[in-house]
Structure 1
Amino acid sequence: MTKLDRPIFAPTAFNSNFIGSLPESPRKRERVGDELQPVGAYAGANPYNGVVEDVKTLQDHEAQDPEFTDKDWWWDHHRIRFLNGKVGLKFLILLIPFTWVLLLVVGGMSLIGWGVLELAEQYEWSGLLVGLVALVLLPGWMFLSFWMIRPTTNWIMSTGIEFLLKPFEKSLSEKFDESLEDGCSEFNRVTGQVRFSLGRNRFFEAPFVEFDAYVERVVQQGGIFYRLMFVHRYTQKTFNQTWLSGVEASKSEVLAFWDMLQRYMDVTQPLPDVPRLEPFRHLDPVTREHDEKTGRDPRYWRDLDIEAWKHGRGVELLNRLRSYPWGSRVCKLTPQLGKVSLGEYRGMRPEGAWPI
């Protein structure tokens, strides 16, 4: 970051101390099997698994981009976006070595098998001889191909792919960026708006206070799991297939993520103290004031020994998530429902919001 890009919060930004009047929900908010989550009541906890995963991501990224100016870093003091890097490009990069390994091993064995059969037919080999030759050549090729995988794949992914894609680098990058932008969803701290991509350059955008969050039970092989689900209260549009709502074995992990996400959106709160947001804490005025008062180490996560943390503060965080009385939270939003008619409220909504 080369300059202090301090956000000026819009009047529509989410403020838990002042949640305006809202229309009543046209449908019952309770859902069988799903747990409606309160708004504006915070445990001040962050998801353990998310922290562990993001510390390495943060430290690795800093080695390549110390100022965190790369447009592919999708969390900052303005907004949290739902995708990580160039998904299309990453898929292509993963597909190339997979295809090469398949071609090298399976393709080579198929070619040997075809060659043995052709020779057997031409020279009238006996079945026993065909079997012996195949028994020697096929395992031999398998061993050789496994030995060749690493050096040949490394060459393909460095020199080879660079040579092949160099003439198309600019056009490919533009295509990937267009595809990525089309799928970009976000929670915007500055405006208080939430945007979900619907594909084909269509987006569902509405104020954060219009969404109800649920902990959804997901039945999979091996048991019951949990993920975060968002339902727009006035249209009933449901969003539960984003990376934000990844399936978790622990309900407390999902509850902690919802707690963290609310605090991110709430401009009365400092940014959650999580790895991905650390490089931007000094750019958010509320967070900067908080960190100056508390004396927080500005490089805490970037310099952290994560293995030592797991056996110290990590254990404390896990115990807190498991023992916290999540059921005692009191929602600040529910009392505001029904204080204004839907017709009146339509005129109060920000421009660009999805019609209701």
Structure 2
Amino acid sequence: MSLQNEPLTPVEGYAETAYRADAIPEQSYAPQNEMLRGRILETRLPWGSYLGVNPTTYQYSESWFREYQYIGDDYHDYTMINEHRWSKRVDENIGILYRLLRFIFVIYSHGFSFVRAGGGVGGGYLFTGIMAVCTILFIFAADTLLQAFTPLVIVLIICGFATLLLRFWEKYELKFYKSNRNWSDDYAFCRRTGMVMTSRGDFPFYEFDAYIEMRVGTQGSQFHSFKVIHRYPHRSPDSLTNNPLEFSFTVDGSIAQLYAVWDMLQRYMDVSQPLPDVPELEPFRYLDPTTKAYDEAGKRGRHATYWRDLYANSSEEELKAMREAHRAEVDSAAWGGRPDLMELSVPNYRETRKSEPEDVNAFGRFPWKAGKFVDRPEAAPLSEHVADHQNNDDTAR
């Protein structure tokens, strides 16, 4: 079996341990992970063979610009993702009692408000409607009209106050965000070192595998989620449960969107690739050596503040149309039939889980139909032509 064990040539700004797809070292056999038994891990996503397509959730984020405008020069330290790390945990400088009170506040303000956060109809209309129907019955049972209408008035006051609190929250939450919340550098995917930092220790990024897991809801509904799981659980056991070390990434939409987030995460960690061209990373592109060289060579094909200007000058309707167009692009991309680069580094990797849905784009849309799985093509060592195929965010997306 061919193995990729080419040493990584240190580049200024990156550690020797930085991840590069064409320099994955030889690794040990992948053990049978007993803790994964009983879970419906429908497919393992392939390493390498990037398409350069980002998931719509990150390509057209709905919240980043407001935070970027408010936080300003400090945005680097107060965002979950920059050129150093992609964090999965928030450190908050607050006590347990404050957390509890904030939780109650958010449940009340968001659940009973007449409007939803960000716009739309909220739960207040539902509660008011139910009480309005009950009021009709109270009219016949109550002694006076005042008694009959009192419950409705109380509900209106409760929901109206919740609406005011929600408006207050939307106006001032960023001040809280900047004063008390910071993304942890101790629990993150670190681009410059190639390591995944966790409470159980630091592990190389190439020791993790990505899966699509099918979950069943309490009422029989089926949905899919994206998981990144440590391949060698005996090296990172949980002291209490022995559960494997794993991460989840929030992505909405089709199975193709889950493939896209794995494509983006790999390119983020791969220092031979520029940073994914997503809005949250744009302010930091010039700080990353590979990305800076890529942009200065004119390969990005966009000006330095493309995303900032787009969000500043586009209406919500225009952004929504862009999101829908991009969603269709992700769903139509050729995600299937790609080899898995990790086969060249882990001796028994192909034998552990080599198949994938025959039609990635259609898989999961009809959960009552059994999807057909096929074997992936065998991987071959990367060559120079791969550079032309892998990642290129130069195509406007």
State the TM-score, normalized to the length of structure 1: 0.66
Aligned partner of 2:231 among 230, 233, 243? 233
Aligned partner of 1:146 among 136, 144, 156? 156
3-state DSSP of counterpart to 1:187: strand
CA distance in structure 2 between the partners assigned to 1:129 and 1:271 by the alignment:
65
Q: Report deviation, 1:259.
A: 0.3
Aligned partner of 1:205 among 202, 207, 216? 202
Residue identity in the other structure for 2:244: T
CA distance in structure 1 between the partners assigned to 2:16 and 2:188 by the alignment:
18
Judged with a 3 Å threshold, the aligned counterparts in structure 2 of structure 1 residues 133 and 249 are, in CA distance, closer, same or farther, namely same
Q: Please list, as runs of the form range in 1=range in 2, the aligned pairs for 1:277-356 lying within 5 A after superposition.
A: 277-292=281-296, 293-294=298-299, 295-304=301-310, 305=314, 307-312=317-322, 314-338=323-347
CA distance in structure 2 between the partners assigned to 1:34 and 1:232 by the alignment:
17
Aligned partner of 1:69 among 71, 75, 80? 75
CA distance in structure 2 between the partners assigned to 1:59 and 1:277 by the alignment:
11
Aligned partner of 1:15 among 2, 11, 20? 20
Equivalent residue number for residue 80 of structure 1: 86
Equivalent residue number for residue 277 of structure 2: 273
Query: 1:192·1:207 contact (CA, 8 Å) conserved in 2?
Result: yes
Q: Report deviation, 1:59.
A: 1.3
CA distance in structure 1 between the partners assigned to 2:274 and 2:284 by the alignment:
11
Q: Highest Rg: 1 or 2?
A: 1
Q: Report deviation, 1:83.
A: 3.8
Q: Which has the higher contact order (CA 8 A, sep 6+)?
A: 1
Q: Report deviation, 1:225.
A: 2.0
Residue identity in the other structure for 1:327: G
CA distance in structure 1 between the partners assigned to 2:167 and 2:333 by the alignment:
48
Query: 2:47·2:342 contact (CA, 8 Å) conserved in 1?
Result: yes
Q: 5+ residue gaps in structure 2?
A: 1-10, 113-123, 125-137, 235-242, 349-397
Judged with a 3 Å threshold, the aligned counterparts in structure 2 of structure 1 residues 285 and 97 are, in CA distance, closer, same or farther, namely closer
3-state DSSP of counterpart to 2:105: helix
State the TM-score, normalized to the length of structure 2: 0.60
Judged with a 3 Å threshold, the aligned counterparts in structure 2 of structure 1 residues 84 and 129 are, in CA distance, closer, same or farther, namely closer
CA distance in structure 2 between the partners assigned to 1:33 and 1:300 by the alignment:
38
Judged with a 3 Å threshold, the aligned counterparts in structure 2 of structure 1 residues 38 and 151 are, in CA distance, closer, same or farther, namely closer
Aligned partner of 2:216 among 216, 219, 223? 219
Equivalent residue number for residue 4 of structure 2: none
CA distance in structure 2 between the partners assigned to 1:95 and 1:320 by the alignment:
40
Residue identity in the other structure for 2:232: Y
Query: 2:196·2:205 contact (CA, 8 Å) conserved in 1?
Result: yes
Q: How many residues align?
A: 285
3-state DSSP of counterpart to 2:215: strand
Higher helix share: 1
Q: CA offsets, 1:40-84, max 9 Å, x none?
A: 2201100013333x2x31210122112243643111000001146
Q: CA offsets, 1:252-276, max 9 Å, x none?
A: 0110000000000000000001121
Equivalent residue number for residue 346 of structure 1: none
Q: CA offsets, 1:207-265, max 9 Å, x none?
A: 0011111111222346432211222222265355x551x36451001100000000000
3-state DSSP of counterpart to 1:205: strand
CA distance in structure 2 between the partners assigned to 1:194 and 1:307 by the alignment:
38
Residue identity in the other structure for 1:328: G
Q: Report deviation, 1:133.
A: 4.2
Judged with a 3 Å threshold, the aligned counterparts in structure 2 of structure 1 residues 155 and 234 are, in CA distance, closer, same or farther, namely closer
Supply the RMSD in Å over aligned alpha carbons.
Answer: 4.1
Q: Percent identity?
A: 29
Q: 5+ residue gaps in structure 1?
A: 1-5, 106-127, 163-168, 197-201, 340-356
Query: 1:33·1:217 contact (CA, 8 Å) conserved in 2?
Result: yes
Tell whether 2:49 aligns with 1:41: yes
Judged with a 3 Å threshold, the aligned counterparts in structure 2 of structure 1 residues 49 and 95 are, in CA distance, closer, same or farther, namely same
3-state DSSP of counterpart to 1:238: coil
Q: Report deviation, 1:95.
A: 1.7
Residue identity in the other structure for 1:17: D
Query: 1:225·1:250 contact (CA, 8 Å) conserved in 2?
Result: no
Q: CA offsets, 1:163-192, max 9 Å, x none?
A: xxxxxx9xxx77x77xx759x631100111
Q: Report deviation, 1:298.
A: 1.9
Query: 1:229·1:239 contact (CA, 8 Å) conserved in 2?
Result: no
Q: Report deviation, 1:147.
A: 4.2
Equivalent residue number for residue 57 of structure 1: 63
3-state DSSP of counterpart to 1:302: helix
